[in-house]
Amino acid sequence: MSTRVSRIITTAMPAHGHTGPVLAVSADLAARGHEVVFLGGARFAGAAERAGVRFVALPPEADFDDRDLDASFPGRAALTPGPERLAFDARHIFTDPIPHQYRALLALLEDFPAKAVLADAFVQGVLALPLSRPRAERPALIGLGVTPAMLPSVDTAPFGLALTPLPGEEGRERNRRLREEAERRVEPLQRYAEKVFDQLGVRLPEGPRGLAPVTVPDHYLQLTVPGFEYPRSDAPETFRLIGALPSAAGTAAGTAAGTAGGTVGGPGGDIVSGEQPLPDWWARLSEGRPVVVVTQGTLANDDLGALLAPAVTALADRDVLVVAATGRPDGPRELTGLLGGRLPENTVAAGYVPFEQLLPLTDVLVSNGGYGGVQNALRHGVPLVVAGASEDKPEVAARVRWAGVGIDLRTGRPEPGAVDRAVGEVLEDGRYRERARALREELERYRPFDAIAELVESL
């Protein structure tokens, strides 16, 4: 318990993968005796209550339902996935809400004068706070990196290209060339963002996109470890890697906020509470065959034909037990239909699974590359096969490849043969499990909840 109670505002984009980690941190801070208010999406009000924190809703102009982005943002569905849709998302999902996020924060500060604001790095409206007033006249701003680090560097290719670091001068020259090209491409978006901040009477600092969310806050905490993030020789002093959130913290954060819970959804957890009974097929995990778990998480699972069906088909003749975690109550039925009405003998399908109990028994995780879920697997020393194409998933997959903890299939819709070969290689080549276990040991040395609490209490 902290000897000095602080008032803290936490906030996240109204999306599952952003809200879960921030609510887990909020719950931990509240359990230490701090007064915490969470500013977030309306659908997460119940999760905030279970986390033991007060909830304040973002205004409708800054809120949306991430389970159906096409419905939340008219016109999005007509765009082909790729650069055009990414540009749409950058403008309308992440940039347009900035003024509404900032005004909501100012209104909340009037009612709840906080000592610190801890914000998901994608809530860029909070940047207007330090850009508009000196430190003595505002709370400290702490950015929280809940996706792979987007910080530009001379040592890395631009975020989004899913390119691993190339050492030496050759790598720096490659990065410089790609960065110049990327800056030309995103210049219209940069100008658009500058105009949005101009509405608030503040000016963004000069520099490439992705720099301000890290350099403007007083502190920036990235939820990973050096073994799973590219080194940057030019990173600012405020940029710190503090470890991935524990998957089972054993506190209110675990069951209420999902990322720490990891109980029933994707391997990174769902925002649900309550103990889940073990499924009827659990005894099959003791058959002596390697266990291969396949998941598309709890959100990017509207089309189980992307990864689950090809993976189950690929592994049907292998001497393994396949656990297909569909992340939806109707998922097993849909998956069975995609496979011609019958699952292979070596496969069980479930809507939700207790990942915290399943991962210690898992030999390989086949995943679409959710950041929290991949690191949760690594917490248990489980090597991976990753097939991700949306959001930040290609960057996560690239880090899996770079860290040597698995195979990146470099597509979101792999052919069955590619899945079969990759799973076979990971099972047979002990280097992947060795590296995964090394990452597990590294992750165990970090205490992210303590690091955040100590920072808040030292302000």
DSSP line for 90-112: IIIIIITTHHHHHHHHHHHHHHS
Instruction: Identify the helix (H) or strand (E) that includes residue 142.
Output: strand 140-145
At residue 222, φ and ψ (nearest 5 deg) are -100, 130
Q: According to CATH, where is 3.40.50.2000 located in the chain?
A: 7-250+445-458, 272-444
Please say if the pLDDT value at position 397 is more than 90: yes
Strands 321-325 and 347-350: parallel
Architecture of domain 272-444: 3-Layer(aba) Sandwich (3.40)
How many residues would you count in the chain?
459
* Long-range contacts at 132-135 (CB < 8 A, ≥ 24 apart): 132/200, 132/201, 132/202, 135/218
Fold that domain 7-250+445-458 belongs to in CATH:
Rossmann fold (3.40.50)
Cβ atoms of residues 215 and 233 within 8 Å? no
Please say if the pLDDT value at position 2 is more than 70: no
Closest listed residue to residue 41, CA positions, set 104, 90, 87: 104
> What pTM value is reported for the model?
0.90
Q: Work out the average pLDDT over 278-296.
A: 94
> pLDDT tier at 31 (50, 70, 90 boundaries)?
very high
DSSP 8-state class, residue 299: S
Taking the C-alpha atoms of residue 57 and residue 90, their distance in angstroms, rounded to an integer, is 22
In this prediction, what percent of the chain has a pLDDT beyond 70?
A: 92
Q: Work out the average pLDDT over 372-401.
A: 94
pLDDT digits (tens, 9 = 90+) for 296-352: 876 666 789 899 999 999 999 999 999 999 988 999 999 999 999 999 999 999 998
Least confident of 209-213, 266-270, 330-334: 266-270
What would the 3-class secondary structure string for 368-416 be? CCCHHHHHHHHHCCCCEEECCCCCCHHHHHHHHHHHCCEEECCCCCCCH
For residue 42, which amino acid is it?
A
Q: Which of the pair, 392 or 37, is modelled with greater confidence?
A: 37
Average pLDDT, the chain: 91
Closest listed residue to residue 384, CA positions, set 188, 213, 228: 228
Least confident of 118-122, 138-142, 261-265, 309-313: 261-265
